Amino acid sequence: MIAIVDYGMGNLRSVQKAIEKVGYEAEITRSPQRIADARAVILPGVGAFKDCMDNLENFSLITPVLKAIASGKPFLGICLGLQLLFSESLEFGHHPGLDVIKGVVKPFSQTMSDPDRPGGLLKIPHMGWNSVQIQKPVPVLAEVKDGSYFYFVHSYYVEPEDSQTVAMLTDYGGKFVSAVAFDNVVATQFHPEKSQQQGLAILRAFAALK
């Protein structure tokens, strides 16, 4: 069973349906025991960083998530589930994250330029399809070709201290980290469950991990 962590925010059912579509069982749960028993864990997320951290704490899910990562079982973060892994976020102040990855979550600046848009300014949030540039080989991402397109919806991006964790980059008013990978952890800024065949390929490879 693959556990999808339910902390009251995020498109949980769409992630579950995508996992089921590639032929695997997934359970939406906030039970620490079910998360501990799962052979793999997914942390999705949509919403504000602080609200998500508060919900993780209120549902007593921070320790189960950290234990799942420490156990070595496959772990996938999606969108805000990527950002929550970082040390802190600058979204509406300074807010601590799970501190699994040293680094910070920063806002896109509305003063950043985009020559393809009227007025030359970046549209925020970054929403829609954009391509990825692969930075290192990762088993879960092995079927993804350089330049493949994925679906994004976000106003903030991650900046890890260790460049060795960076698996993919994407260009939006400048390059930002769109996926990280290290040890048993993979996390994407884009939504694989909304990214058609390329996204399903990632979820299939993740679900097949032992």
Of the candidates 79, 91, 126, 154, the residue annotated as catalytic is 79
Please say if 193 is a catalytic residue.
yes
CA 189 to chain centre: 5
With contact defined as beta carbons under 8 Å apart, do 181 and 75 qualify? no
Smallest Cα–Cα separation from 189: which of 116, 102, 131? 131
Rg of the Cα atoms in the chain: 16
Q: Which two tokens stand for residue 209?
A: 């991990």
- Would residue 57 show up in a list of annotated catalytic residues for this protein? no
Tell me how far apart the alpha carbons of residues 79 and 96 are, in angstroms, rounded to a whole number: 17
The residue from 91, 126, 154, 193 that is catalytic is 193
State the catalytic residue, choosing from 52, 91, 154, 191.
191
126 is catalytic: no
Catalytic residues: 79, 191, 193
